[in-house]
A and B are shown apart, each in its own frame.
Chain A
Amino acid sequence: MYREETIAAISTPLGEGGIGIVKISGERALEILNNVFVTKDHHQKVSWEPRKMYYGFIKNPESQEIIDEVLAVYMKAPNTYTKEELVEIHCHGGMVPLRKTLQLVLEQGAGMAEKGEFTKRAFLNGRLDLSQAEAVMDLISAKTDISHEVALGQFEGLLSREVQGIQEIIKDMLAHIEVSIDFSEEDIDEVTMDQLLSKSMDAKKSFQGLLQTAKTGKILREGLVTGILGKTNVGKSSLLNALLRENRAIVTDIPGTTRDVIEEQLNVRGIPLKILDTAGIRETEDAVEKIGVQRSREIFQQADLVIFMIDASKELDREDYDFLHLIKDRRALVVVNKTDLKEAIDLSRIKSIIGDKKLVRISLLKNKGLEALEDALEDMVYEGEGFSKEQPFITNARHQQAISRGLQSLEDGIKALENRMPLDFVEGDFKNAWESLGEVTGDTVSEDILDHIFENFCIGK
């Protein structure tokens, strides 16, 4: 179904820049801005004067997390590019704050803008001249072709099947509700609130499971930010080189995969890794015999995955042990290098500290153990998230958003059930949940449910 919702997108080129802008257009633009923007003192309500820059922070209203320090500007309809209410949030240039800000705006109810959509609206609202109309139409029809391909690919894909699985649960609930409403005098056992509640809990679990994959999906899309840490001379640089030798990522011209000067991209068994601070790794290799504490802490904070290296031939010191304690709660693995030398470390003590974290013994000099290391990396990415490679991942922000909205509606429905609202009200929420999922699979609801009713219930005069 076509909808005119409030839309948002990152409207500056992808990649690192001084600033990046998240643009929101539509009736709810200002409302959404108000939900996520706080002033310096975090309290003051802004009475937005159009076209004036305001300084403040983007804050997640639920988790209270501060995402970025920003400048925001509100432009009043119709004097804007799209002729709609328009908001721009100027973030710091890095992709992380930009993406997080956009994500938050989407969570607040904006739809992800499609390619050319701001321009399309500008045209429809009379802002652009006729000569640009053709271009807009071409853009839309070009997009259809691409999304058609994508849709086909996804249809055969795992995600679609998973989503359909949830849809099936919901469809079944809807059919039960509808049949008890529209065919109330037929001799069909009416579905009870408790049955519905238990089914909707099943659906909720699947929803949550699916949304968790979004994190892994993002890793698969953007790469797992990886830090290699350890004392000087432990072999960080050699490990990097060894990994690179076999796995150097092919850098494509797809936006967002642009190589960063301080990152190396590599691809281990299909898992993209972004190794942080590779310059640092090389530079500090021959320096003082000490973990660069400050730098290590920074990397440690940023990384999705920590590889902590130790030297098998040297006894560990206090700092090493402190670090082992730190990584206990993180996605991390310990690499013991130089196993070709006489072992001086207390392996059992190390193992007792790190618990179930993996420990891999390698010798970079003898080129031994790399295979095991890659095994361990792979296991960590998939199993750490509780998924196998055969399971689906949400890799598309629009899908993630649709699924989140679906979960929200489902939860509304559960709440309504718990409050003993009449079934026809509850049904509305479940139908919304189904329809949100339909945005991923491209299905529409009403005929489907009728089909389901007539297939499964014996009704009629």
Chain B
Amino acid sequence: MNFYNGGSYDVVVVGAGHAGCEAGLAAARLGLKTLVLTISLESVAMMACNPSIGGTGKGHLVREVDALGGEMGLNIDKTFIQSKMLNTGKGPAVHSLRAQADKLQYHLQMKQTLENQVNLTLKQGDVIDLMVEEGKASGVKTRNGAEYHAKAVILATGVYLKSRIFMGEVNYPGGPDGLATTQELPDNLRSYGCNMRRFKTGTPARIHGDFVDYEKMTEQMGDEENTPFSFMNQALKIDQISCWLTRTTEDTKFIIEENIHRSSMYRGDMESVGPRYCPSIEDKIVRFTDKATHQLFLEPEGVHTKEMYLQGMSSSLPEEVQVAMIRSVTGLEKAEIMRPAYAIEYDCIDPTDLQLSLETKAIENLFSAGQFNGSSGYEEAAAQGLVAGINASMKIKNKDPLILDRSEAYIGVLIDDLVTKGTNEPYRMMTSRAEYRLVLRQDNADLRLTQKGYDFGLVQQERYQRLLVKREEIEQELQRLKKKKVTARELNPILDTIGSSEVDTSLSLYDLLKRPEINYKVIEPLYAESKDLMQDVKSQCEVIIKYDGYIKKQLRQIEQFKKLENKRIPDDVVYERIDSLRTEAKQKLKSIRPHSVGQASRISGVSPADISVLLVYLEQRKRGNKNV
């Protein structure tokens, strides 16, 4: 086939999903000439599965993306139809924001942002091959015969590589929602030395909202006062739309059990690995037989559509069975399926093929992000897209990459987990994956990361100034609270009313706030100064004071952690030549090529003794021993 020259760019991003959009925007905003290619312009920032952004762990990622200067938080704030802070009954570290999105608006808004972005070109195009010269990526080739030259390429192909749809006995090649799939690219990547794997995921049916009996369901409303995702926004006024809670019935169980042999998964048609945290409904019925019924959420897909997403019912049963199964659910007796549930298999890269910068080890200047890297979820994708976009740009500018460690951000945890440990299922973020969860809160993502975003050039002055002011105000407020003393006489009546134990002497407000039952609302009558303070500053101070002991303990652990993290391993270490390493450790270290001793210590199969040997070796090397 003859290819024509489609033009030269600094960065070409393959895919315009949640990863591709962030990658493209980041590169363009960092001043690089960027091309974003997508298989269909209708699928830019498409929410192929649930119509929501955020949730436990994921909400943290969105706020981090926002703090670093990414787009996801701003985009959902413009297009959400309901918002809820989850886990408010628990500690501040695990409060997690989740918003229901208007799917179509989310897509249009993001597409518009890309279209309006200086330095960014958005085109429809199906990439079938890379251009690789001397082990370096130098561009891409499309099905229509274009060659786009680039200094760096970012693959954010989602589930589109060799994807196959499964619905009972039926299966056929195809991308999500009837979109096309690309067959050639994964084979070409294999030929360049990438290790590819096959994963699976699935999505439930969408049903028509007019045929739902909401009387039989429980309404799930959003928070009265919503919290925006972006640190640039204040609470936003919108008319929220509710979700609905219902349950499957004994009939549902019976229908599934009768037809389980027809499910693609149980037929053995699929050889790939699906995520354990989102099992299909048939999986839940089979594995948890003692559970008679299961809960389901109906989530509206937007303002201008009647489609409702049926959360809890993803399936690979035949369409025919799906109809019966859905109509057996309380309140869905007359349901009409608009899109059936399906499972989808796709090719992705083994993420241990990547460096922490998200550049592939096999091909220089080739970066990748999102589901292609073995993750799952819009938020995980966006986080990686942002990092890949920044780092492709840094590579071109000959600067150090942005690498966040596990104590700095959930993004750090995400990428380190993928790259260092690999994954056997589509990887989803959960707060339990973060060792330093108490410090990595969603409420302080800006305090943790905005400076970094600014240093890398993605955060604009306005956002940066806002951070400096907030930081300063928190510091001043903490000092004020320490100085401001209240007498027992002033205090005790207030303490009495909330059942808090009385005090004998005067007390600083700082010490008072240490009590779990005391918050700013309680001390307000004694503390007129607090009225003008930003809510955000107050809540930061409360957290800092209340959980001081726990946070300090964690900071000490982080200090320990950092020591090994800061011990860098040079790229040219030949592990085979370090005799005292065990063979397994040599192999693992050689294949992962950890960037620090800390990262090396997290590789399975590398023991503490191996780490000691490595430390001694590195020290020897540093002192210039010619023999090593």
Contacts and interface: CB of A to CB of B under 8 A. Distances in A.
Interface of A: 1-5, 120, 123-124, 126, 130, 133, 136-138, 140-141, 143-144, 147, 178, 180-187, 419-425, 428, 446, 449-450, 454, 458-461
Interface of B: 49-50, 56-57, 86-87, 90-94, 204, 275-279, 283-284, 287-288, 291, 294-295, 297, 311-314, 430-433, 435, 437-438, 516, 547, 550, 553-554, 560, 563-564, 579-580, 582, 597, 601-602, 607-613, 615-617, 619-620, 623, 625
A460 B597 CA distance: 36
A163 to B, nearest CB: 18
A460 B625 contact: no
A273 B366 CA distance: 70
B608 A133 contact: no
A120 B620 CA distance: 12
B616 A181 contact: no
Given A186-B295, A425-B91, A4 B616 contact: no
B616 A136 contact: yes
Contacts of B560: 3-5
Nearest to A138: B580
B547 A458 contact: no
Contact of B625 (A130, A181, A428): A130
B613 A137 contact: yes
A428 B277 contact: no
A422 B90 contact: yes
B308 to A, nearest CB: 14
B616 A133 contact: yes
B287 A458 contact: yes
B287 A124 contact: no
Nearest to A460: B278
Contact of B612 (A1, A2, A187, A449): A2
Contacts of A421: 91, 516, 550
Contact of A425 (B547, B579, B597, B619): B547
Contacts of B547: 425
Given A144-B607, A446-B432, A461 B91 contact: no
B277 A459 contact: yes
Nearest to B432: A178
B109 to A, nearest CB: 24
Contact of B431 (A133, A136, A182, A449): A182
A459 to B, nearest CB: 6
Nearest to A416: B550
A140 B619 contact: no
Given A182-B431, A182-B432, A424 B609 contact: no
Nearest to B295: A187
Contacts of B49: 461
Most B C-beta atoms less than 10 A away, residue of A126, A178, A422: A422
16 contacts: A1-B601, A120-B615, A124-B615, A144-B610, A181-B431, A421-B550, A422-B90, A422-B91, A423-B91, A425-B547, A428-B550, A449-B432, A450-B276, A459-B279, A460-B312, A461-B313
Contacts of A141: 580, 582, 609, 613
B50 A461 contact: yes
Given A182-B431, A182-B432, A460-B277, A143 B609 contact: yes
B294 A458 contact: yes
B56 A181 contact: yes
B56 A446 contact: no
A130 B620 CA distance: 6
B519 to A, nearest CB: 14
A181 to B, nearest CB: 5
A73 B325 CA distance: 77
A111 to B, nearest CB: 12
A461 B358 CA distance: 29
A246 B518 CA distance: 72
A424 B94 contact: yes
Contact of A461 (B312, B601, B619, B623): B312
A419 B277 CA distance: 32
A220 B559 CA distance: 39
**Which are the 7 A-B pairs with shortest beta-carbon distances?**
A422-B91, A460-B278, A454-B276, A141-B580, A144-B609, A187-B295, A2-B611
A183 B56 contact: yes
Contact of B609 (A140, A423, A446): A140
B580 A2 contact: no
A143 to B, nearest CB: 7
Contacts of A424: 90-91, 93-94, 431, 437-438
A7 to B, nearest CB: 12
A344 B308 CA distance: 98
Most A C-beta atoms less than 10 A away, residue of B92, B560, B612, B625: B612
Nearest to A451: B276
A204 B44 CA distance: 54
Contacts of B311: 461
Contact of B582 (A5, A136, A143, A144): A144
B21 to A, nearest CB: 23
A184 B56 contact: yes
B276 A458 contact: no
Contacts of B91: 421-425
Given A458-B288, A461-B204, 5 more contacts: A3-B560, A120-B615, A133-B616, A141-B580, A460-B278
Nearest to B517: A420
B608 A2 contact: yes
Given A178-B432, A182-B57, A123 B619 contact: yes
B68 to A, nearest CB: 23
Contacts of A454: 276-277
A182 B56 contact: yes
Contacts of A422: 90-92, 94
Contacts of B516: 419-421
A260 to B, nearest CB: 35
Contacts of A124: 615-616, 619
A458 B281 CA distance: 10
Contacts of B554: 428
Contacts of A133: 616, 619-620, 625
A333 B282 CA distance: 67
A141 B312 CA distance: 51
B277 A120 contact: no
B432 A461 contact: no
A302 to B, nearest CB: 39
A137 B617 contact: yes
Given A124-B616, A182-B56, A461 B87 contact: no
A2 B601 contact: yes
A182 B438 contact: no
A423 to B, nearest CB: 5
B380 to A, nearest CB: 14
A378 B455 CA distance: 71
A179 B297 CA distance: 18
Nearest to B55: A185
B412 to A, nearest CB: 15
Contact of A181 (B87, B291, B623): B87
Contacts of A4: 560, 563-564
A399 to B, nearest CB: 16
Contacts of B283: 460
Contacts of B431: 178, 181-182, 424
A187 to B, nearest CB: 4
Nearest to A141: B580
Contacts of B611: 2
Nearest to A1: B601
A450 B430 CA distance: 10
A423 B90 contact: yes
A450 B424 CA distance: 13
Given A2-B564, A144-B607, A182 B550 contact: no
Contacts of B615: 120, 124
Contacts of B278: 460-461
B52 to A, nearest CB: 10
A421 B551 CA distance: 13
A460 B315 CA distance: 12
Contacts of A450: 276, 430, 432
A330 to B, nearest CB: 42
